[in-house]
Amino acid sequence: SESIFVWILTIPVISYLLMGRKQGFWFSLTFIICGILAYHWRFISTEHNFSLNVAISVNVILSSFLMMTFAHVYEKNREQNEDRLLSLAGTDPLTGLANRMKLNESFHQLSALAARHQDPLTVVLFDLDLFKSINDVHGHAVGDDALRHVANFLQKNTRKSDLLARFGGEEFALLMVATDIEKGHQQVNALRKLLMKTPFTTQKCEIQITLSAGIASFGQDGHDLDNLLDKADKRLYFAKENGRNQVISQDPITANGTGNLKV
């Protein structure tokens, strides 16, 4: 019966929903071609005139590929929307940088690669010095613009292979791939000096922004992100408590003489 060939029209939708865009495309294409050939072999009669046969063939072929095109476009749009939602979920709305969720996700991937290839991985925490005074003196709108200024500065002056994230408030985090703690210290210290020469300009004045940073090394200071962030945070706290506008990459000297300090 000709009615069985209605499945030619429904299979593309079903296959795209169940298999996804790539597998659904090839399955639908194969099914439609086989179905059209079977339909022509079974129902296109030599008794009909040529024009009628052409009309029947065109209707079957066009309706079949129209359904396949509809299913393909729908699935492609769904994938794009899903990717956009995932991107938004991992993005800080104020600065456009990665957020803490994306930072955690990226660390799992980068640390696994670092361990597999025995490459160094450095974790950095930045904190803007005396940032509260900007909000107090100029207002929170200017404070938000200052955060965006620093975010753009850091993004512009860090490598594309590294991950820069807003950690919260006026704190930023940076995962530096294939970078040991010595090299990381040099690069972050260069960033610190460059930021001092790149003031944030408002309509009324220029605001000089400085940062303090703490650095931790994957493996040497810990193997999970929480431990590394805790170590970097302690070094960052020491930097802020001892003058600000500096980078600390090693533990300070303790009362019993153990530990060392690099500024």
Catalytic machinery residues: 170
HSE-up of residue 171 (Cα within 13 Å, Cβ side): 16
Amino acid at 122: T
- Rounded to the nearest 10°, the torsion over CA 94, 95, 100, 104 is 150
- The phi, psi pair for 91, rounded to 5°, reads -120, 135
End-to-end CA distance of the chain: 84
Token pair in block for residue 170: 């006026």
Q: Among residues 203, 145, 204, which one has the least CA distance to residue 170?
A: 145
- Return the axis-axis angle of helices 100-117 and 225-241, rounded to nearest 10°: 110
Residue 157 burial (10 A CB sphere; 0-12, 13-18, 19+): middle
